[in-house]
Structure 1
Amino acid sequence: MRIGELARRAGVTTRALRYYEERNLLAPRRSESGQRHYTESALDRIRVIQELFAAGLSSKTIADLTPCVVDGKATPELLSRLAVQRDRLDAHIADLTRTRDRLDSVIAGASANMRTETPCKQGDSA
């Protein structure tokens, strides 16, 4: 199928498909005139790519991981590597949660000591 049909069926833009190709996430076959042609399996690959982007992985990481997907199915290596990425995200979430908790503490302390007039103008940063 050609790029427009694949984009429509996958629910993405042709620009996204070109980006995936540029990042070595998707490799269409080219006709003699240079037109892109995709197999049905490209739909499954696009779904995997989108899920990995939604999980917060970079295009480089996805490019490293997608060879571990065979016929739309995960290999043991892929599962192991995805677990590493999940652990990285868990650590980042924990860091963000600690930061939010610190901000809550600062806000609570500042609220207890709030003055009726403020020396800061909106938009100023402390």
Structure 2
Amino acid sequence: MKIGELAQRAGVSVRALRYYEERGLLSPERTPSGQRRYTEETVEVVRLFQRFYAAGLSSRAIAALLPCVNNGRTTAAQRDMLQFERDGLADRVDEMTHTLHRLDELITAADHHV
């Protein structure tokens, strides 16, 4: 598929896809005229990148973890990085959950003062 179709199906901009390519996260095939061509599987890979970015992972971390995504195998260093990123995400989830509960308390208190 062409870059525009991938962007639309994955819910990202063409610019984001070019950024992923610059960072070594995507390696599309090229037609003889130089147009990028992506496989069907790339849609889910790009969506995974978006989830990783939303969770706070850097493009460097994603690039380091990409072999795990592609082949399911990890080195000891990659497992350490996965654990580190997972622990950081868990900490952020805990903080957000605490904030959510505090907001709920504020809403409940405000409802009683109306």
Q: TM exceeds 0.5?
A: yes
| Pairs within 5 Å for 1:5-16 | 5-16=5-16
The separation in 1 between residues aligned to 2:41 and 2:79, in whole angstroms, is 20
Count matched residues. 92
> For residue 26 of structure 1, what is the amino acid of its counterpart?
L
Counterpart amino acid of residue 48 in structure 1: L
For residues 85-111 of structure 1, what are the alpha-carbon distances to aligned partners after superposition, in whole Å with 9 as ceiling and x for unaligned? Answer: 1224556x5xx8xxxxxxxxxxxxxxx
* Partner residue, 1:116: none
The equivalent of 2:101 in structure 1 is none
- Separation of aligned partners in 1, 2:9 and 2:86: 29
Q: Which has the higher contact order (CA 8 A, sep 6+)?
A: 2
Equivalent residue runs for 1:29-108 within 5 Å = 29-70=29-70, 74-75=72-73, 81-89=81-89, 93=92
- What is the CA-CA distance between 1:84 and the residue it aligns to? 1.5
SS of the residue corresponding to residue 69 of structure 1 reads helix
* Greater C-alpha Rg: 1
The answer to whether the 8 Å contact 2:67/2:73 transfers is no
Gaps of 5+ in 1: 97-126
Q: Partners of 1:66 and 1:41 in 2: how far apart? A: 14
Hey, which of these two has a bigger chunk of helix by percent?
A: 2
Equivalent residues of 2:29, 2:38 under 8 A apart: yes
Cα deviation for residue 52 of structure 1 reads 0.9
Runs (5+) with no aligned partner, structure 2? 96-114
Q: Which residue of 2 aligns with 1:25?
A: 25
Percent identical across equivalent pairs?
53
1:109 aligned residue: none
d(CA) in 1 for partners of 2:52, 2:46: 10
Please tell me the residue identity of whatever aligns with 2:61. T
* Structure 2: distance between partners of 1:50 and 1:36: 20
TM-score norm. by structure 1 comes to 0.63
1:41-98 deviation per Cα after TM superposition (whole angstroms, max 9, x unaligned): 1112101111111110110110110111136xx545566532221224556x5xx8xx
